[in-house]
Structures are given as structure tokens and as C-alpha cells.
Structure 1
């Protein structure tokens, strides 16, 4: 127990009784000089780094959207700056008090709210979520709260479903319609916004209060986050809100997500509030349980640890431990991260789709984070291949299909560099094995993977979590008019309340969704019964007689949504 000091015994009064000697004077003089030099140098260093941050963002002017950023060191904010415009029409500049939609950065707040209730025994991480959401379909597998928190539930991501849905349902309604999963819970990691929509609903039902109120009472107010709020109605008037923008050939136009169909709502905040949140997690201001559980790496059923915890990515950036998450919502882009071993926290919030908050944050981190010499230089492109390595890469080029999902990857050699067409470069590790270039140099995350070739005609893609996907080579497919006619018709999905009309035209398979006037698409043939449109894969299903009866629709966020064929549309179009 600390002893209180009486006025007569305070250190200040004690100084009055000191005997001043020449040696004492010398000591005090040197101490003062040291303090002046130390804090003067510290101030100069901080100013130098602020100047460097200014250089990073000097492209943002009053005539463009821009970014705000904040940096804290050991709990003290050392940078809190704003660049560019918050409102181009009214010529309102961004300032450190500007609030932004932080997108998926909100997931760590939803996770923290959930964990507060877990700590109070009002929720259980291992409980089947049907206990809290009895109307959720029976998928044939137990899905727990923890599966939702760490993106291993297999529940389809509503953002991948919404573009297909008819009638513009809200996110929760759309999730509840789904009768299938992407995979068995705990078998894979697949980022899914749906899990956090369900978590918000579970917290709301458990507490009996709107999530916005619970977050205000238990998270924002206790931590002094005065400019942060959970918002379910984005059309409301919000003080100091920066508007979101999209870059066009003629300039800028508004790009803001104002709909109420997001389910998990939005959190609006400032850069300085976000680093305050980061520092609170580092110092356990929400309690040791919540802080530690937020940062506990998730595990798959096979025991493999993930680079994701509960609402946070856990990675290594240039050899330094990093805890982070990014977010995007229409024209808003956010990055929030910290380097706990060095006491550094960084928040970057931008209000344009043309700006990368992540890239800005990386450059700011380079000014404050100390790296080992071997990690300072990061190459931007894979090294050119030579000799046997180049010949092997050339033999592995071509089109490959994922045997489970139908996803296509095209491998190519460009200027003696091996890469996924339209994607990352690949560096040879050993003969037959190629790694996503830069994964182990700069970021180590769920984006790290290796290709293990069994032969030039097939390989396994293995992620850092140990997930394996087999790809096999396919030959280009060119259907004739009769082949295409077999695919035409109306295809319907009860899960989405939606339909496709497919028809052939000039040796092409074309489509239209939900009778949308003037909106069509072309499906490009890949194999006999597989077509693609951008990142979308459509695989047709045949009966024993060879007739097309259905199609399975997949994109990077959802797998195998079944559409049943109704007729051949011979007289439609």
C-alpha cells in the first residue's frame, strides 16, 4: 500500500532543506543540460518524422479527397494530421476531427463486445449458435460463436450473395435463406462478413439493447473515444463526417454506402480515437481476458494455427510482429495496426476509392518502426528465372481448374518471371515448388501460399494454414452453336429469390439476371460445362441422360449456389 506524503515531507519541501554545494550545483547543471538535450532531440526527431509523413501525403490537396492519420508511441500521440478535402462541393478540408466509415475495422469492436459477454458467462465461444439464433437453417454441422469470430464457419458471405439477390433484402434475411455452407465448420479459413452480422444480432438479443448503445456504454465511453459511434442509419446527419468519393475520368463523384442492408452496421471514427483503441488493447484497459482473446490465433480442425485471431490479423511485417485490420466501404478505406513490441500504433483513414490506406500506412510505418537490416529492403517483383528454373516454369504455364470449386488459375511466364495471370508473382523455392513472391519477406498472412507441382499438368496450392487445393490442367474449350443451345434457359434459386436467363447469340452464351433491363453479361467458356465471368465460375449440372438440369454459381466469397433450370427459353430473349 502506498503511503501518503504529508505537506512537510513532500519531495518539493525536501528540496528546500538540501544543502547546496559546488558538487551539487554541478550535478544539477549537468542534469538540466541532459534533459534539454534529450527532450530537444526527441522533439526534433518527432518533428522530422512528422515532416516525412507530410511528404507521404502531400499529393492530397483541397481539390481532392485525402486521408487523416495518427501515430502513437508508447501511448502518446506523436502524429495527428489531415490532408485533402472532406467535402469537395462545400470546400470543407479534412481535419483531425473528421470521422470516417471504418469498414471492416469494426470487426474487432464487434469481437470485443462479444468477448465481454463471454467473460460475463452470458455467451459461450463453444456454444452452437442455433441456441442464440434458432431460426438459422440446420446445416448438419455445429457452428460455434468462435467459428463466426475467426471466419471458419463456412457460412456464405452476404456481400457475395447480394449482387444476385432479387428484391434487395437486408443482410440478415439473405443469410437466413441459405441452406448450404461453403465448407464444414473449422475445416478452412474464408473471410466472411456474414459471421459478424450474426454476432451483432446475438449481442443485441443477449443484452436486450441496440448494439450501438451497448458499444457506447461498454467500449467507446470507458476508453474516452468521444468521436466514435456505431451507426445503423447512414442517412442520419453526422457531425464532422468526411464524404466518400469515387475517382472518375471527369474528376470525383460521391461514393457512400447509405443503405441499411449491411446487418453489422457501421462504425464511424477518427484516426486519433483508433490509436487510442489500439493503445487500450496493448495496456489491457478492457481487461486481460478481452485483450488476450482478441489476439489469440485461431486454429483449424487439423490443429493448424491461422494468421487471424478474433477480428484481428496477426502477422509479421519485415520481421516485426504486427496486429492489424483494414476496412473498405464504398469510397472509404481504413488501416489500423500496431507493432506491440515497439509500442507503435498507426491509423490511416482515407475518403476515396483511389487511395490505398494500407500503402500509406506501410510508408508511415517505415518512418517509425525499427527493422533488422535484412528486412529493410523489400523487392517489388520476383527475380527473373534462368536455366532449369525458367524451363520448369515455362512447362507449368497454362490454364488450371480447382477440382473442388471450379476456380480457374492461369499461370504464365512474363519477361522470365513466373506468375499467376492478373495476380502475384511466384518465386521458385525448390524444383517443383513455387511460393507467392514476397509473402515471407514482407507480409506473412493467409495470402501466403505455395504451389507444389506433381507434374506439369497438376499441382497443389497449399496455404500457410495447411489448406490444400488440387488444380489440374484443362484445355481451352470452344463450343459451337448447338453446344451453347444446351445451356440456354431460365435458372432459379430459392435461396436468393433470384433467376438467370441464359441464351445464345452469335456463338456466345449471354445472360441477364432478374430481368434487369439493359444489364447483361457474357459467360466465357473454360471447359465443357464450366464458364467464367470475371471472378465468377458457373458449372452446369447434367442428368444421367446428359441433359443440363442446373448450374452451380461460385465466386471468391460463396460456393455452389444451386440454380435449377426451368425451360430452354427458345422463344424468349
Structure 2
């Protein structure tokens, strides 16, 4: 009998030692997470971070200030503008109505908003949900428009598309503006009312609401800031600065409730499956985007995430379902707040090291020998090129080791004139794993993963004469955007002003035949059969070739 009690006592002691050791290890990891946010202080804005594992919150902490003027610290109850984190809620609301038979993913959206222009193509709800509609993103138009229209009105008067629906993926806030309008029309109530009743209240997200008017009183709201000249400035989007479409206001802990609800299929099997189902292009390419969610991986671990940004508010929400891990980070500290990097450092701490892989991407057949690379003269291949199919600019850079595409992937040399994209992300060329073949120093063939070949030509030397520049002077207007530019000749360039803000003058320098660039904007002159300038096409990173006609 004594031996039995002795063995039982020994087992109990070992169990307590194990539990104590586990507790110490867990506490050590939480302390390491605190260090991720050690850049914050009580005199500066910061972040709130909530982490759950297997449905249990293991960390819920606030770092920094919610209100610098009144010296109010951030707390775990602080409410933030979640920016584009709202898209997964819009997607879920849409899918609930689809499941109930009130909407159809495959029906033409003109059935729901008949006053939309005829685009010449069928656009479906699923195109809107998956960013494959081709509808122009209002954020690329609002900065130059006149009259302060809301996003919906601006979207409704667009007659052209960036591309044929389903042909490409291109992030478009406009699609989600239309989805909220469709939900409101179909339910006879605002999207805010629908979301509050069918999503937030149902899931117990007590501190979350969708606000049509951000001037409403919102308890525990944290203010947002941006650092300018080493000083903090309040930076919050209101009214039409954010398109007039309202905002999702939430806490980090409520967003973890949302994440766990998707993991546990609390919205039902259909919504849960569809919101995470990869989108597919017309050519059969499967994308790393579902409906309001990026479908990705980090170090070999499945990652489902989205970010949000609204002026100084920066958010990130992600799940790692294979490890039962959920992370929400909401910040009020503006640009430079790399919340995805913060989240990945948390993953590194909480996921078993044996399950994490090296992120290095090895390209079969890549030339790595320094002498062989030197012989390729990579630097000479860098420069500005134009896509002959879309007209879009492609800037190839040399980083001292590899060629890479600006805002895109690195390029691995796999032959004398052949290069392979290193990795593929949905945000660049619709996740294409493409190859480049330098046919000559001025011509490139781009071959898509499906075998489609497109040519890129190097920007041609273009030096218009003073007379040619003067012939381009005049007023150029677009009723789609609702604005007009005044163009005058400068010294070897064009000077362009928005008619409603004449004090702002932008130099546009020639970069290709009939093409001029100012910052991230490009205009391409249009001519009639006699060579006279009749207008121009305007493009920027999210807007393809809106026509402006020359009126004088």
C-alpha cells in the first residue's frame, strides 16, 4: 500500500513539475511577444494585439496611447477603424443572402443595380467578391475628381473596365462598394443594420459595429496618427475621404471572435466554405484569394489573412487553422507599422519550429555563379518597359544580385536571355509564374504560366520639340471621372494642372512615344488620322486608360 501511495505521489510531483515548466515556457513566449511591441510608449500611438490558440485567448494586450492630447492609454477595449478588414464581413453578408436564395453568385449585377452602365460584359456577384470584375477602383479616381462625389456615384458613372471580367485579379474597393449597395437594396435596410444584426450580435462581437457616419459617438474609440516631420499629427478618414461608405469599428478581441467563428463554421457550412474557396480565372488559374480573404502560406504554414488601412489606422487579421492559431493586430500609428511582420514574429514564437520551413525559394536551373552572372550584364537589362497588350509600364531594376520587377517579384536567371519569376503573389500579375525572354536589348517576350506570350518594349527615346509640346496644350476633360486637366508646354515636358486646383502644377516628362509620366501617373496622347491631338488616356497603378477629350 505504501508503494502505491509513493508512486502516486511521484506521479503527482512530476505532473506539477511538467505543468510548472509548461507555464513558464508559455509565459516566456508571451514576454517575447511583448518585446515585438517595445517600440511603443505611453507618449506615442501603438497597437492592441489579441492572440487565441485552439479557441482560447492566450494574449490580449495594449501598447501605446489612444489619445495623445488627453493622455489616454490604449486598452484592450480600444475601438479602431478596421479599414479593409471589413471586406470579409461584406463577403459573409453577401453569402448569407446567397444561401437564402435572395442573391445569386452567377447572376449579372445589372439585375440588382440596373442603372449601371453597359460594360459589354457580364459581371457577377462572384466577380465583385473575388476582385476579378475589372471595375475601376474608386481610390485611383477620387484624388483627381471634382465636386467631392461619394464612391458609389463615382463608380456608377464609369463606362469602361480595367479588363474583361474573370481575365485577371486586381484589388478593387469599388466591387465592395457595389456589394454593400446590393445588400441594402435587397434587404431594404442598410448594410450596417444587416451586419449588426446578422453578424456582430449573433457572434457576440459586443464592441463591433458598422458605422455609416464616423462622426457618431463611438465609446472607447482610439484616435489615429501619422508622423510628419518627427511630430505626430491626427490622421483619420471622414466622410468622402473614405468614399462615404462608412467603416467597420472593432476591437482586436472581437476580431479574434470572428476568426474563431469562421474556424468553427458558426456562420454555416456554405458561408464558411465559400468565403475561403480559392477564386479561379477564366483561363483556369487558381488564385490565392477567396472572398474577402487572402489564402496564403507563411514558412510552409497555411495562412488566411487580410489587412486594413484607413489613414493612421492599420490592422491585420490572420488565421493558421492547422495550428489553431488566430492573431488580430490593430494599430493607430500610421504608415511604417508593419503589422504583418509583427504577426509573423508571433507565429515564429508559437508554432513548433519543426513545422516551420525556410522561406528561401530555389528556382531549378538558376544561374548563381558570379562569373556567369557577370557575363549576362544584368544592369544593362534594367529600365522602363511597356506592355504591348495593356500599355502598362513595367520597371525592371537591378539590385546588385538579381533583376527584379518594381513592386513585383525578383527574376532568377535560368539562361543567357531567360529569367523566371521568383514566387508568385496574387497582387502582381494575378499570381502568374511567368518567364521573360530578352529577344533583344529593347524587346522582351513575357510567357505566362499558361503559355500566353506578350511582348514588352523598352521605353523609346522621345524628345518632342517645343512646337510639338505647344500643340498638346489645352483643356482635357473626362465626364466619367468628373474632372478636367489643363496642359501647358514646359521645357522639354508638359505641365499639368487639375482645373479645380490650379495652384498644383505637376511636371510630366516624356517616357515613350506620345507618353508622359508624372510620379505614378501616365498619359498617352491620342491623335486623329491627320496627327492632331484629340485627347489623352490617363492611367495610374489601379486605373487603366480613362479617356480625356481635348475640349479647347
The TM tier, using the shorter chain, reads over 0.9
Alpha-carbon spacing, 1:463–1:347, altered in 2? closer, same or farther (3 Å): farther
Alignment counterpart, residue 48 of structure 1, candidates 12, 22, 28: 28
Give the TM-score taking structure 2 as reference length.
Answer: 0.92
Find out whether 1:508 has 2:486 as its counterpart.
Answer: no
Find out whether 1:358 has 2:340 as its counterpart.
Answer: yes
Query: Would you say the 8 A contact 2:169–2:429 is kept in 1?
Result: no
What residue in structure 2 maps to residue 293 of structure 1?
274
- Tell me by how many angstroms 1:72 deviates: 0.8
- Tell me by how many angstroms 1:31 deviates: 5.2
What residue in structure 2 maps to residue 134 of structure 1?
114
What residue in structure 2 maps to residue 389 of structure 1?
373
Task: Quote the Cα distance in structure 1 between the aligned partners of 2:36 and 2:214.
Answer: 31
What residue in structure 2 maps to residue 12 of structure 1?
none
Alignment counterpart, residue 323 of structure 2, candidates 312, 328, 342: 342
What residue in structure 1 maps to residue 264 of structure 2?
283
Query: Would you say the 8 A contact 1:541–1:550 is kept in 2?
Result: yes
- Tell me by how many angstroms 1:115 deviates: 0.6
Find out whether 1:474 has 2:445 as its counterpart.
Answer: no
- Tell me by how many angstroms 1:407 deviates: 2.4
Find out whether 1:254 has 2:252 as its counterpart.
Answer: no
- Tell me by how many angstroms 1:86 deviates: 0.8
Query: Would you say the 8 A contact 1:451–1:459 is kept in 2?
Result: no
What residue in structure 2 maps to residue 322 of structure 1?
303
Higher mean alpha-carbon deviation, 136-145 vs 476-485, is at 476-485
What residue in structure 2 maps to residue 489 of structure 1?
474
Alignment counterpart, residue 179 of structure 1, candidates 143, 149, 159: 159
Give the TM-score taking structure 1 as reference length.
Answer: 0.89
Query: Would you say the 8 A contact 2:170–2:430 is kept in 1?
Result: no
Task: Quote the Cα distance in structure 2 between the aligned partners of 1:25 and 1:466.
Answer: 74
Alignment of 1:357-436 (within 5 A): 357-372=339-354, 375-376=357-358, 386-392=370-376, 393-420=378-405, 425-429=410-414, 431-436=416-421
Note the alpha carbon deviations across 1:217-246, whole angstroms, 9 max, x for none.
111111111111111111122111111111
RMSD: 2.5
- Tell me by how many angstroms 1:360 deviates: 1.6
Query: Would you say the 8 A contact 1:500–1:511 is kept in 2?
Result: yes
Find out whether 1:117 has 2:134 as its counterpart.
Answer: no
Alpha-carbon spacing, 1:337–1:383, altered in 2? closer, same or farther (3 Å): farther
Task: Quote the Cα distance in structure 2 between the aligned partners of 1:43 and 1:430.
Answer: 54
- Tell me by how many angstroms 1:404 deviates: 3.0
Identify unmatched segments of 5+ residues in structure 2. Answer: none
Alpha-carbon spacing, 1:452–1:507, altered in 2? closer, same or farther (3 Å): closer
Alignment counterpart, residue 211 of structure 1, candidates 181, 191, 201: 191
Alignment counterpart, residue 253 of structure 2, candidates 265, 269, 272: 272
- Tell me by how many angstroms 1:408 deviates: 2.1
Identify unmatched segments of 5+ residues in structure 1. Answer: 1-20, 568-573
Alpha-carbon spacing, 1:416–1:341, altered in 2? closer, same or farther (3 Å): closer
Query: Would you say the 8 A contact 1:305–1:465 is kept in 2?
Result: no
Task: Quote the Cα distance in structure 1 between the aligned partners of 2:452 and 2:46.
Answer: 39
Alpha-carbon spacing, 1:537–1:462, altered in 2? closer, same or farther (3 Å): farther
Task: Quote the Cα distance in structure 2 between the aligned partners of 1:25 and 1:468.
Answer: 78
- Tell me by how many angstroms 1:555 deviates: 1.2
- Tell me by how many angstroms 1:371 deviates: 5.0
Tell me the matched-pair count. Answer: 543
